[in-house]
Structure 1
Amino acid sequence: MTRKLAAIIAADVVGYSRLMGSDEAGTLAALKTHRRELIDPKITERQGRIVKTAGDGLLIEFPSVVEAVQCAVEVQRAMQDRNRNVPDDHRVEFRIGINLGDIIIDGDDIYGDGVNVAARLETLAGANGICVSRVVHDQVRDRLDLAFEDLGERQLKNIARPVRVFRIAVPAVGLRTPSVRPTLSLPDKPSIAVLPFTNMSGDPEQDYFADGMVEDIITALSRFKALFVIARNSSFTYKGRAVDVKQVGRELGVRYVLEGSVRKAANRVRITGQLVDTANGAHLWANRFDGGLGDIFDLQDQVTESIVGAIAPAVEQAEIERAKRNPTESLDAYDHYLRGLASSYRITNRQANEEALRLFNKVIKLDPGFASAYGRAALCYAWAKTNGWISFTTSEITKVKKLTQRAVELGKDDVIAVAASGYTLAFVVRDLEEGAALIDRALAFNSNWAEAWFWGGWVKNWLGEPEVAIERFARAIRLNPLDPSISGVRAGLSHAHFFLGRYDEAASWAAMALQDNQDFQPALRAAAASSAMAGRLERAHQCLLRLRQLNPALRLSNLKDFLGPYRRAEDISRYQEGLRRAGLPE
């Protein structure tokens, strides 16, 4: 066998069987024309070789991964232009997967894992999409001016190991797709990302404990106004893989990275940590902390104080003392709280949201003074309303209001309790003024919490201040640039641009939100309304059809029941007009 390293492209036509069934002769003619006029010349220009074709599929080999990616991007952009005036149901649209790997040469054919991974990546790409493996991303990210979206680790069919997948952002025709991975400059104050700690317990079921420790350290550090702290969801995109801290520094825009591990056995716990300068990889500080589970909060305080002392010596000891706040005296309550957090980060899953609510309610029962648990429990109701999982009765709204009131009473300076309560009060209880005031208060005493900026962005949309909303969503993205569940931020940006009359930009942000979660109803509503107002009625009809499949009760007459508490009548009227043009019945 002959082997070599090569870049591999696997491509096929989306919905080929449907196209052939609708118009066999026309589809074949169009495909041949695209091959003759665009695809084959581009492959030759970029020094590629077509290995084989199979109906609508292509397998292509390139000696250079840069040339392979450039070829794919140029073809996809050109195909979108060619399809500009073609009806949606007659468009020939490709999906492309690209991998760099070892292949086996057999005559003119090629085989091996490198080929198989490219073929699996193709299935994830979607119409006009390009998905690449991590090795491709790492090879071209600093050579080509492209925006990449990290889709995380994926278990691909018949591939033994998980593959980290990235999607290349290719703007839709007539739309300007904002970069999902901008170049991030360093903030004007010490900046840090706390990476997921390694679970050294030997039991994967204890991951939630290590993750919760990191979450608490991030929360403690974020209280310091002298620091810039990256949010949890962005830090956790690096979980389970070896990382280059210099790359992390570039991707997150931070000066320092904290790495560490947690070992929990019986009633003992050991936390290790090391602080690294991302500019040169130098280790600035390292330490180990041992103690009993009863001392867990003291251990967290020691870790936090040591980190702050290493990177921000100007922070006074008094500030450090004020940052030491044990969330609860009950270790059992704390354990349930960490489990609830683990479930709450899967908010697009109804069962996970219900499990999170059950766990947070258990925490409250075990420790009625745990402020953050009340805020998180209230937030579960907000997610249920966002996804249409529950119809709120008067008694349920009263229950939610009591949760928020208790959270604020107990956690006057707890950013989670105050900001989450503010968002839930505004969205579920419809007390917009009180909710907005609570979020502003939370941001005043902790400007490092990305979720508070996110919730605050939505509240500004409801208040009729879309320009300020855009600023708040931008701040949330800067603090949490790699958040894999960023669809809520993108949907919020879509709404803000919609209310400013920027319908193309609104449609673009909505499309990106739907890439993360194709059934996210706020994004579907925004996509339908903005596409209709921009004159893209076919796209608007498609989004509305899916929206009504998810929510058959939706009508123009009851639209307000599914929206946030918009203060300005003209915003609701604009929304109704967009959805009316999209085809929503009265």
Structure 2
Amino acid sequence: MERHLAAVLIADVVGYSRLSQIDEEGTRARFQTDLKEIFEPTIAEHHGRLVKTMGDGILVELHSVVDALRCAVEVQQQKAKRNALAPPDQRLDFRIGVNLGDIIVEGDDIHGDGVNVADRIQALAEPGGIAISGTAYDQVKSKLAVGYASMGEQMVKGIAEPIRVYRVVLDPAAAGKTIEARKNHRSLRVPAAAAAVILLLAGATAWWQPWRMGDETNLRNAVAADTRPSLVVLPFDNLSENKQQGYLADGITEDLTTELARLPGLFVVSRNAAFTYKDKAIQPAQIAAELGVRYILEGSIRRAGDQMRINAQLIDATTSGHMWAERFDGAWSEVFELQDKMVGEIATALKLRLITIQRVAQISGGTSNAAAYEALLRGLEHKYRDTPTDIAEAVKLYQQALALDPNFGRAWAELAWVYWDLHSAEQEQAVGIAWEDVMVKLNECLKEAAKRPSPTYYQIVASLLLRQQKSDDAIAALEKAIALDASDPWNYDDMSHALVFNGRPSEGRGYIDAATRVEPVWTAWRSYVAGLTHFSMDRFQEAAVSLEKIDAQPKMHWANFFGLIVRMAAYGHLERAADIAGVDEKLRQSLLEMGDNREFSGLFVRNYFPFKNYADTERLLAGLRKAGVPDLPFGLDAKSGDRLSGDEIKALLFGHHIEGRRPATGEPYLRTTSANGVSTISVGAYSDQGASWMEGDTICTWADARGRYCAAIFRNPAGNPEGRNEYFWINAGNRNEFSVVK
């Protein structure tokens, strides 16, 4: 057994397991291609030795840490070029870690702390990025044309002492510069020489409350390590004589944001972040600093009849100079061509490679009908106002857009979103729909939207899949949404949400950071997702802090409702009795607004929190129990000997037909559940179908018309087969009695 000092490089594919589930053979083939065409030649060029591959990982030994970092940099640069040419679902991103340390050599293999540290720090690298240890940094800091962003000292699994870690900044302008980890969490100042290199989030302390004290460094370092040109599209001014046509300027702003975000190598801040500057006279340098971008696109639109003029200019905020300015004249029917031309000229000005692809309208649920497009923009204007009257008006305008273009996928998706987001009788009345018809209309819209899917379509589908306890599929849907619109923070927030339900909250944290990068101002939904993430990692105090912020943020019904539930559970774990009483009152008010008179219980909560792993469900229920919330409604004892276990429920119901009645109304109750969970249900005149599965000691069902609901089953000691009342089916708000008929 031999020991010696060596430079160790470890590379690992980001999300390899998920990619393999989608296309195992294709993913493996792409990995082998990268290994043969990029890694092996580059390793040899820098006098390294490929020790072995480990599934989706690559282990390399080099004699010089300078050579190791040069090798890593060249690999990532080659991979960036290759990925830019590949469709999103065929890209492999690698994380690379480099360490200088003691290794043990046994035959052709190596191991020891030097290898372990390299492995742990590669996990801290960004996708497509490089992380190096402090020992490596000390040797290379002035020897390569790269910069560094300190991540401070990190505790990693399997290593007793904290290790210094640095991210590598590949921008040549950053060469020789090191951005130190921020020690004072109220300051975001950096050396002036680095100001043009990093994307400074000035003033971020007003909103950025990190996962725990000191962790805000992670986001700042991620920003600093992002060497792409960065841009915000400010809201275009409406110079038309008809001031009611502001929706045209807003729509063009939003579409330019989406299309520019699809350019390889360009980072674009979200539409929501940009619109906080609407109608405000603020200097470009201040906007750039607050959003962490270098370039600003601003402009105006003037429309007279069918003719329009768009003026646009691109500003470099570091100099306040104009890099590009142009005027575009044409008919409104030519709006799509004018947008494409604008995107092309901006790409040229920023020296970006303009890929030859179909415009976004043709591949992400758009339209080539200018009148349908205008109707959608008018509908979105009402959607963002979010009053019952405006929601009803948005529905009419979406329907108008679809009458003009029945294949307008995004209009179908926006219409579906209206139905998915309804949460009060007032809204249902304004839209003109009964609650029992909401899911039917939603499914009808999604069926059409699926023909030409948009990011909005994938967002809704992901939400529906989550409620069906299909978080793996929800994650895959959100990956498609991100590929279509990388500037939409909802895609990242929802991905974090899905990962939490999938049992991977630590991964979800990274997507919260990504959402914050494109939209620095936190929404109530993001605060809820952050709180749920903390909660799922047993960080109840931090969860409470995140969830309490929702009270001061613009109201979002579902964020408020879900947030209050998790907040009550967190308070339960923390034994904060006084705070529990306050949350209980707020929950009652929220339920009143929803018109939901069911008893608040653990069974009720399970309808909304479909964790993949039952341990996560139990964590939530345990906190609610400590807060005084009963597991079951109607005063039932969750520990009763008459309650059936999960195995007993499955044996009783799956593969059988049951019949009985609803005692409260006398209506007949029938249900058939196949061995694989396919279910048909009827109560009186109501009938539905769907799928059922077991979650711990409850049976949960996704019904086409009713959505998700869970139930407990009890024996009825006084029941008999003739009365068809041997068992009780307990929902959150109803009881049915039944017997197994066949």
TM over 0.5: yes
Structure 2 residue corresponding to 1:573, chosen from 618, 623, 639: 618
Question: Corresponding residue for 1:258?
Answer: 297
Question: Corresponding residue for 2:9?
Answer: none
Question: Corresponding residue for 1:383?
Answer: 421
Which digits, 9 at most, give the CA deviation of each residue in 1:353-407, with x for residues without a partner? 4443443233223311111112222222332259997799675334323423332
After alignment, is 396-405 or 566-575 more displaced? 396-405
RMSD of aligned Cα (Å): 3.5
Structure 1 residue corresponding to 2:310, chosen from 257, 271, 284: 271
Instruction: State the distance in 2 between where 1:353 and 1:580 align.
Output: 38
1:343 partnered with 2:382: yes
Structure 2 residue corresponding to 1:497, chosen from 534, 542, 564: 534
1:563 partnered with 2:608: yes
Structure 2 residue corresponding to 1:406, chosen from 448, 461, 475: 448
| Contact 1:257–1:275 under 8 Å retained in 2 | yes
Q: Secondary structure at the match of 1:242?
A: coil
Aligned CA distance change for structure 1 residues 222 and 168 (closer, same or farther; 3 Å): closer
Which digits, 9 at most, give the CA deviation of each residue in 1:419-445, with x for residues without a partner? 324334325666544433221233345
Offset of residue 193 of structure 1: 0.4
Question: Corresponding residue for 2:256?
Answer: 217
Question: Corresponding residue for 1:99?
Answer: none
Which digits, 9 at most, give the CA deviation of each residue in 1:216-254, with x for residues without a partner? 111111222321111100000000111211111111111
Question: Corresponding residue for 1:544?
Answer: 584
Question: Corresponding residue for 1:30?
Answer: none
Letter in 2 for 1:507: A
Name structure 2 gaps, 5 residues minimum: 1-183, 189-203, 593-597, 633-742
Question: Corresponding residue for 1:459?
Answer: 498
Question: Corresponding residue for 2:34?
Answer: none
Aligned CA distance change for structure 1 residues 549 and 216 (closer, same or farther; 3 Å): same
Instruction: State the distance in 1 between where 2:361 and 2:271 align.
Output: 19
Question: Corresponding residue for 1:135?
Answer: none
Instruction: State the distance in 2 between where 1:167 and 1:332 align.
Output: 44
Percent identity at matched positions? 27
Question: Corresponding residue for 1:526?
Answer: 566
Question: Corresponding residue for 1:196?
Answer: 235
Instruction: State the distance in 2 between where 1:372 and 1:394 align.
Output: 25
Instruction: State the distance in 2 between where 1:389 and 1:147 align.
Output: 44
Instruction: State the distance in 1 between where 2:571 and 2:565 align.
Output: 10
| Contact 1:147–1:181 under 8 Å retained in 2 | no
Which digits, 9 at most, give the CA deviation of each residue in 1:491-541, with x for residues without a partner? 011001101100111111101122104662122222222122222221122
Instruction: State the distance in 1 between where 2:218 and 2:584 align.
Output: 29
| Contact 1:190–1:312 under 8 Å retained in 2 | no
| Contact 2:185–2:216 under 8 Å retained in 1 | no
| Contact 2:419–2:438 under 8 Å retained in 1 | no
| Contact 1:146–1:169 under 8 Å retained in 2 | no
1:208 partnered with 2:247: yes
| Contact 1:273–1:286 under 8 Å retained in 2 | yes
Question: Corresponding residue for 1:160?
Answer: none
Structure 1 residue corresponding to 2:439, chosen from 394, 397, 402: 397
Q: Secondary structure at the match of 1:284?
A: strand
| Contact 2:534–2:540 under 8 Å retained in 1 | yes
Question: Corresponding residue for 1:487?
Answer: 524
User: Which has the bigger relative contact order, CA under 8 A and spacing at least 6?
Assistant: 1
| Contact 1:388–1:551 under 8 Å retained in 2 | no
Letter in 2 for 1:498: F
Offset of residue 449 of structure 1: 3.1
Letter in 1 for 2:572: A
Aligned CA distance change for structure 1 residues 199 and 415 (closer, same or farther; 3 Å): same
Offset of residue 295 of structure 1: 1.0
After alignment, is 256-265 or 356-365 more displaced? 356-365
Instruction: State the distance in 2 between where 1:386 and 1:457 align.
Output: 27
Question: Corresponding residue for 2:323?
Answer: 284
| Contact 2:572–2:623 under 8 Å retained in 1 | yes
Instruction: State the distance in 2 between where 1:310 and 1:169 align.
Output: 33
Offset of residue 176 of structure 1: 6.0
| Contact 2:500–2:508 under 8 Å retained in 1 | yes
Question: Corresponding residue for 1:313?
Answer: 352
Instruction: State the distance in 2 between where 1:569 and 1:385 align.
Output: 28
Instruction: State the distance in 2 between where 1:259 and 1:572 align.
Output: 48
Instruction: State the distance in 2 between where 1:274 and 1:384 align.
Output: 40
Instruction: State the distance in 1 between where 2:258 and 2:207 align.
Output: 32
Question: Corresponding residue for 1:516?
Answer: 553
Aligned CA distance change for structure 1 residues 303 and 554 (closer, same or farther; 3 Å): farther
Instruction: State the distance in 2 between where 1:462 and 1:388 align.
Output: 31
Aligned CA distance change for structure 1 residues 328 and 334 (closer, same or farther; 3 Å): same
| Contact 2:230–2:293 under 8 Å retained in 1 | yes
Higher helix share: 1
Instruction: State the distance in 2 between where 1:514 and 1:179 align.
Output: 22
Instruction: State the distance in 1 between where 2:474 and 2:336 align.
Output: 31
| Contact 2:265–2:352 under 8 Å retained in 1 | no
Aligned CA distance change for structure 1 residues 359 and 181 (closer, same or farther; 3 Å): farther
Q: Secondary structure at the match of 1:345?
A: helix
Question: Corresponding residue for 2:394?
Answer: 356
Aligned CA distance change for structure 1 residues 352 and 433 (closer, same or farther; 3 Å): farther
Pairs aligned (count): 418
| Contact 2:309–2:328 under 8 Å retained in 1 | yes
Instruction: State the distance in 1 between where 2:623 and 2:425 align.
Output: 21
Higher strand share: 2
Name structure 1 gaps, 5 residues minimum: 1-143, 149-165
Letter in 1 for 2:566: A
Q: Secondary structure at the match of 1:551?
A: helix
Aligned CA distance change for structure 1 residues 584 and 548 (closer, same or farther; 3 Å): farther
1:583 partnered with 2:628: yes
Aligned CA distance change for structure 1 residues 547 and 387 (closer, same or farther; 3 Å): farther
Instruction: State the distance in 1 between where 2:497 and 2:548 align.
Output: 18
| Contact 1:378–1:420 under 8 Å retained in 2 | no
Which structure would you say has the larger Rg? 2
| Contact 1:263–1:271 under 8 Å retained in 2 | yes
Q: Secondary structure at the match of 2:309?
A: strand
Instruction: State the distance in 1 between where 2:465 and 2:427 align.
Output: 18
Letter in 2 for 1:491: Y
Instruction: State the distance in 2 between where 1:388 and 1:535 align.
Output: 37
